[in-house]
Amino acid sequence: MTSIETGTDRAVGRDPALRWIAVTASAVFVVMSLVVARPGSNYRFSFLFLVPIVWAPYLLRRRIFLLPLHYVLFVLALMLHNLGAFGLYQRAVMGLSFDIYVHFYFGIVGGLMLHRYLEHTVVLTRWQLRVAVVLLIIGMGAIHELVEWFSTLILGPKNGMLKTEGVYEFDTQRDMFDNLMGAIVAVSLYAWSRRARRAAPVNPAPADAAPAAENSDWRGEAPSLQSGR
C-alpha cells in the first residue's frame, strides 16, 4: 500500500513469511536466555513469556492485518528489550539511557501496527485516527508501568520489574513520554507516506482502454429516455 506498509493487503496472507519470522525470533530468544544471560539473571527465563508474545501477533495476523514489515519491527522491539541480558539497561548509549531508546522504539512499532488495525476496522477521520493511536499507545504504556509496579510489590525490589534503588527519579514518567514521542513519529510516518503517495504521478489509462462499466450502462439507457418523450 504505502512505503510504511510494504506490499499489499495480500501480504497478510503470506503465512510462510510470517511463520519464519516467528520461528527465527523464538530460537533467538531461547538462545539469549539459556546461553547469553548470566546464571541467576532475571533474563535467564525471559523466553518463557517472550516466545508467546512473539507468536500472539502471528496467531492474530488476519484479524490485526499484520504485515511482514510490521512483524519484523515488532520482533526487533522485543529483541531490543531483551538486550538487557547484556546489562545494557545499566548503560548509556550516546549520552542517553538505553531505556529511552527501548520505550521510544516500542512507541513507533506499536503506533504503526495500531494505525493499520484501526484504519481497517474503525471509521475515523484522519486526525481522529492519529489522535486515537497516540492516546492508545500512551494508555498501553501506562498499563505496562502498572504491571512493573505490581511485580515489584509482589516479588520485591530485587526480582520485580520496577527497580527502586539507583534509578532515575522520574523513570515512569520518562518512559511514558518516550512512548508518546514514538507514537507521534509513527503517525507522522503514515501521514508523510500518504502525502508522498498522493504526490506520485499516476500513469494515464491507455487510449484504447475499454470504457468504464457505469459509462456503458448510462449510454445504453440514453436512447430509451429519448424514445419515451
Supply the pLDDT for residue 118: 96
Pairwise CA distance, residues 66 & 73, whole Å = 11
Between 178 and 83, the more confident residue is 178
Q: Exposure of 73 by Cβ count < 10 A (0-12 exposed, 13-18 middle, 19+ buried)?
A: middle
Supply the pLDDT for residue 204: 59
Q: Tens digit of pLDDT for each residue in 122-152?
A: 999 999 999 999 999 999 999 988 888 877 7
Res. 166 pLDDT band, cuts 50 70 90: low
Predicted TM-score of the model (pTM): 0.76
Res. 113 pLDDT band, cuts 50 70 90: very high
